Amino acid sequence: MSDDVGLREQHPIAPTLSGPIHFLAAIRDNWYLTINLVRRDLRAKYRRALIGYGWTWLEPLLLATVYYILFTIIAGQPDPLYPLHILIGIIVWSHFGKSLQATLGSLKKSRNLIKQVYFPREILATTPVLTQLWITMASFLAIIPVMWYLDVNLSGMIWMLPLGLLLTTLLAMGIGLMMAPLNVISEDVGHLFRFIVRAGFFISPVMWTYEMFLERDTTGQWLDLVMLNPMVVPLTMVRHSIDGGAMDIATNHILYSVIFSIVVFLTGMTVFKRWEARVVKYL
């Protein structure tokens, strides 16, 4: 019998072009383990909290209340649905920011496990995103009392909700996967993306909406520039899936956002599989 039988390369490097295939295959083959890690993370997150899972909807609701006071009562924002739009924007952006940062720091956070035994690092990058996705879905419970207060009923546009969240997840995870190996080498990457997430909160339509921008940009000279932000379409999708409004966004801008998110995700998986084994020595 050959001495190589039963042996496995501890830190295998996948071929570049097949990176996404190997990444998804690892998640598929270890799906049971991935789900159990998600359950563990959810239990650990609220283990010592008196309210427990109630924080999944209480936190965005409290933040939306603060911003509602600032922008509606003090600044005099006339849109009656503005409180609902703020709440939805906060929930979606929180999912994007936390998923991005969790993926970005997945290798560094699990350095002890990676050093000791072989473990599919794809699981380490995917588990926190799935955990955050579950929390985000639970956070949408906070929308129910606001919808009741504003007399907003769900419409046939609700199908855009999962699509908008999917695009948000692919974009956040793709960026995080691309930069995770570099984050192991330099802590500057983590600091940079913390700033990007904070700045993106204001650059993206979280506190403002696509329709508010159109009212200000009457000539349309800034529209193409603003739509370069791939989060404009997912945020608008989720908002209109709830309030039932028509999404008056040009088809080319929607296609750009969808294609951009998918390409970033595929690129992220490729880069991650190519480099995650090479940066282990820096952990």
- Residue 12 falls within a domain, yes or no? no
Split at pLDDT 50, 70, 90, the class of 189 is: very high
138 vs 31, higher pLDDT? 31
In angstroms, rounded to a whole number, what is the distance separating the alpha carbons of residues 182 and 104?
A: 9
Q: Is residue 261 part of a domain?
A: yes
Query: Best-predicted range by mean pLDDT among 10-19, 37-46, 122-131?
Result: 122-131
Is residue 1 assigned to a domain? no
**What's the pLDDT score for residue 10?**
52
Considering only residues 73 and 280, tell me which one the structure prediction assigns the higher pLDDT.
280
Q: What pLDDT does 13 receive?
A: 58
Both structure tokens of 143: 């929308």
Cα distance between residue 212 and residue 143, in whole Å: 21
Question: What secondary structure does DSSP assign to the chain, as a single string?
Answer: --TTTT---SS----STTHHHHHHHHHHHTHHHHHHHHHHHHHHHTTT-SSGGGHHHHHHHHHHHHHHIIIIIIT----TTHHHHHHHHHHHHHHHHHHHHHHHTHHHHTHHHHHHS---HHHHHHHHHHHHHHHHHHHGGGHHHHHHHHT----GGGGHHHHHHHHHHHHHHHHHHHHHHHHHH-THHHHHHHHHHHHHHHHTTTSS-HHHHHHH-TT-SSHHHHTTSTTHHHHHHHHHHHH-------HHHHHHHHHHHHHHHHHHHHHHHHHTTTTGGG-
pLDDT at 5: 41
- List pLDDT tens digits, range 226-255: 999 999 999 999 999 999 888 889 999 999
Residue 11 lies in a domain: no
pLDDT in the model for residue 7: 46
Over 60: is that where the pLDDT of 8 sits? no
Residue 5 is assigned to a structural domain of this protein: no
- Going by pLDDT thresholds of 50, 70 and 90, the confidence category of residue 200 is very high
In a domain, 8, yes or no: no
pLDDT at residue 256, as a whole number: 97
Span of 40-44, 106-110, 133-137, 194-198 with lowest mean pLDDT: 40-44
Stretch 208-224: mean pLDDT: 88
Q: How high does pLDDT run on average in the chain? A: 85
Domain-embedded: residue 198: yes
Find the mean pLDDT for residues 179-186: 93
Residue 9 falls inside a structural domain: no
Predicted confidence band at 6 (pLDDT cuts at 50, 70, 90)? Answer: very low
| Candidate ranges 7-16, 105-114, 199-208; pick with highest mean pLDDT | 199-208
Give the pLDDT band (50/70/90) at residue 146: confident
Higher pLDDT, 97 or 53: 97
**Per-residue pLDDT, 1:** 43
Task: Average the pLDDT over 146-162 and give the result.
Answer: 88
- Would you say the C-alpha torsion 102, 241, 200, 251 has a positive or negative sign? positive
Question: What confidence score (pLDDT) does residue 3 get?
Answer: 45
As for how many domains the chain has, the answer is 1
Reply yes or no on whether the pLDDT at 147 is more than 60.
yes
Q: Domain range for residue 158?
A: 19-42+50-282
Instruction: Yes or no: say if 190 and 158 are a contact pair by the CB < 8 Å rule.
Output: no
